[in-house]
Amino acid sequence: MIDIHTHILPGLDDGARHREEALAMLRMAAAAGTTDMVASSHANLEFAFDPQVAEERIAGLQGAVGNAPRIHYGCELHLTPESIADVLRFPQKYSIGHRGYLLLEFSDFLVPKTSSEILGRMIARGVHPIIAHPERNPILRKRMPELEAWVGQGCAMQVTAQSLLGRFGKAAAVASHELMARGLVHFLASDAHDCEHRPPVLDQVRRYVEEAFDPETADRLLRENPQAVLDGAPLATGPVHVRKRPWFSFSLW
Ligand SMILES: [Fe+2]
């Protein structure tokens, strides 16, 4: 499996606090079947993002863990007027592996009316926006038609594994299942911040999706599409995810 959203670089944001914690997270991920992780440190008003520092931290960790898992460059960019301008000036600076896919986080309090236009301008610059966990955003999760339009426009959606499993509460669980039902989910990722509360593991969600949906869907969301991101290649398209059983028949919480 390939995890495109993790906070594993020590000291750069509110994820791994130090090198030992980062190494523990990497080893935990590898043990759960993750082969590749994108180090998507926050780039927002609280945490400045420096590409060179990120590359150095990745190299330092990679040397310690060998190739299990492989660590890839990226960030989680918070949408602000300044970050939009910088993406448009330097389209590859924030993208995963510098290959075009950009993990983009919207504010919980304000979604610009011009979002579609902003996303369109990024796409025109060769950036492929991936909307980070829309199911956890109280504004976005109430705007399914708008999310659908963004996907039609060329955006992709990443849902947090723990949302689908009910660990971010009922509203996020309901929204993540509605996104699945509408065929709007392209990635499941851990958004790991530590080893305990938000761990870097995807094996449980893989089993859930295999059972509740089907193995092909699990593979597409956890391996095939994430691999395309690492390669800078087009995403696989798939059918609307049809649940075998109503999701509430699983004991999620
Ligand atoms: Fe995150």
Domains of the chain: 2-249 (3.20.20.140)
Residue 39 CA to ligand 1 centre (angstroms): 10
Using the mean position of ligand 1's atoms as its centre, give its distance from the Cα of residue 11 in Å. 15
Ligand 1 centroid–CA 40 distance in Å is 7
Identity (one letter) of the amino acid at 77?
L
Provide the pLDDT for residue 173. 97
- Other beta carbons within 10 angstroms of residue 30's beta carbon come to 18
**CB-CB neighbours of 177 under 10 Å:** 23
* Residue 37: partners with Cβ closer than 8 Å, 6 or more residues away: 2, 3, 6, 8, 26, 29, 69, 70, 71, 72, 200
d(CA 138, CA 110): 10
Distance 5 CA to ligand 1 centre (A): 6
| CA 22 / ligand 1 centre spacing (Å) | 15
Cα of 42 from ligand 1 centre, angstroms: 7
What is the rounded distance in angstroms from the CA atom of residue 80 to the CA atom of residue 118?
11
Residue 60 CA to ligand 1 centre (angstroms): 21
How does pLDDT run across 85-127, given as a tens digit for each residue?
999 999 999 999 999 999 999 999 999 999 999 999 999 999 9
DSSP string of the chain, one letter each residue: -EEEEE--STTSSSS--SHHHHHHHHHHHHHTT--EEEEEEEESSSS---HHHHHHHHHHHHHHHTTSSEEEEEEEEE--HHHHHHHHHSTTTSSGGGSSEEEEE--SS---TTHHHHHHHHHHTT-EEEEE-GGG-TTGGG-HHHHHHHHHHT-EEEEEHHHHTTTT-HHHHHHHHHHHHTT---EEE--B-SSSSS-S--HHHHHHHHHHT-HHHHHIIIIIHHHHHHHT-PPPP------SS-GGGS---
198-227 pLDDT, tens digit per residue, is 999 999 999 999 999 999 999 999 999 999
CA of 74 to the centre of ligand 1 (A): 11
Summarize pLDDT for 144-171 with one digit per residue, the tens.
Answer: 999 999 999 999 999 999 999 999 999 9
Given a contact cutoff of 8 angstroms between Cβ atoms, the answer to whether 238 and 217 are in contact is: yes
Dihedrals phi, psi of 40, to nearest 5 degrees: -105, 70
Distance 248 CA to ligand 1 centre (A): 26
Average pLDDT (49-70) is 96
- CA–centroid distance, 191 to ligand 1, in Å, is 5
Whether this prediction's pTM lies above 0.85 is answered by yes
* pLDDT tier, 246 (very low <50, low <70, confident <90, very high otherwise): low
Q: How far is the CA of 41 from the centre of ligand 1 (A)?
A: 7
Residues 6+ apart with CB under 8 A from 195: 21, 24, 25, 28
